[in-house]
Amino acid sequence: MSWLGKFLGGAFGFMLGGPLGAILGASLGHQFDIGMIRLDAHETLRSGDQHRVQMAFFTATFSVMGHIAKADGQVSPEEISLANRIMDQMSISGEMRTTAVNLFQQGKGADFPLDDILAQFYRECHRRTDLIRMFLEIQMQEALADGSIVSKEEKLLLHICGQLRVSRFDYERLKIRLQAQQRFYGRNDQYQQPRRREQSSLQDAYGVLGLTPSASDAEAKKAYRRLMSQNHPDKLVAKGLPEEMMKVAKEKTQKITKAYEAIQQARKK
């Protein structure tokens, strides 16, 4: 069991104040004052500590996912399914899964302190841009769960980007990649002619890497290596990604590799 799982099982002490500590404490069901979780007075984690960042990432991820899902006024079955799928990928169960579900439910509340949560999450990350990018990607996947990002969801996502110092350009670039990824891995158009389906799939493979078909072999390889480096599970965990999310990161690198291999195969023809 990872550190995060042990903490939620009560084996480790942890102190996390502020709004993240408040909603996590409420989700755990423990009683505490001023958003302070304290299971062991002898262990205090300083801001920037890897374990503290892991807890902040876990707390912010599931609570903000709930907020995104509720953005258009109604949480769809697809949005709930995506949240459950991420929990399954993380192999979380028992109290830890209950906590994740409770965080998601809190995020749906009208009084959810989004800006306070994002401000603390940004501070805890200490400019770990790869973690912020992965957090944002998960939120965008939640918005895309039912097929497209509606205007209210987009407005909220752009607000989140602003709070996390992510530019509009980077947001749009990530959205294009995720939409291409959604089509490339979920393509199942049985009515499309095989050749046209193959061509469309190849276009989306380029989109997954943030490229166009005019990219050179060197540019394709460079884009592939950059994305693999950004999403390398071990690197992300070293920066504070909860160990449970290594499977999520690993699956993403596998998808990036699949898109790159599709491009390479097409260029050999």
**Residue 207, domain member (yes or no):** no
**Residue 253, domain member (yes or no):** no
Question: Which pLDDT score, from 0 to 100, does residue 167 have?
Answer: 95
Count of the separate structural domains present in the chain: 1
Of the pLDDT bands very low, low, confident and very high (cuts 50, 70, 90), residue 202 is confident
Percent of the chain as helix, strand, coil, to the nearest 5: 70, 0, 30
Q: Residue 29 maps to which CATH number? A: 1.10.3680
249-255 contacts at long range (C-beta below 8 A, 24 or more positions apart): 249/134, 251/89, 253/228, 255/181, 255/185, 255/208
Of the pLDDT bands very low, low, confident and very high (cuts 50, 70, 90), residue 8 is low
Of the pLDDT bands very low, low, confident and very high (cuts 50, 70, 90), residue 165 is very high
**Per-residue pLDDT tens for 115-153?**
999 999 999 888 788 889 889 989 999 999 888 899 999
**Residue 44, domain member (yes or no):** yes
Report the percent of the chain where pLDDT is more than 70.
Answer: 78
Q: What tokens appear for 179 in the block?
A: 């939409």
**Per-residue pLDDT tens for 67-108?**
999 998 889 999 999 999 888 887 777 888 888 999 999 999
**Residue 136, domain member (yes or no):** yes
Q: What is the mean pLDDT of the chain?
A: 79
What is the spatial distance between Cα 114 and Cα 23, in angstroms, rounded to a whole number? 11
Q: What tokens appear for 149 in the block?
A: 């990002």
**Residue 222, domain member (yes or no):** no
**Residue 101, domain member (yes or no):** yes
**Residue 49, domain member (yes or no):** yes
**Residue 221, domain member (yes or no):** no
Question: Which pLDDT score, from 0 to 100, does residue 125 have?
Answer: 85
Domain that holds residue 134: 3-191
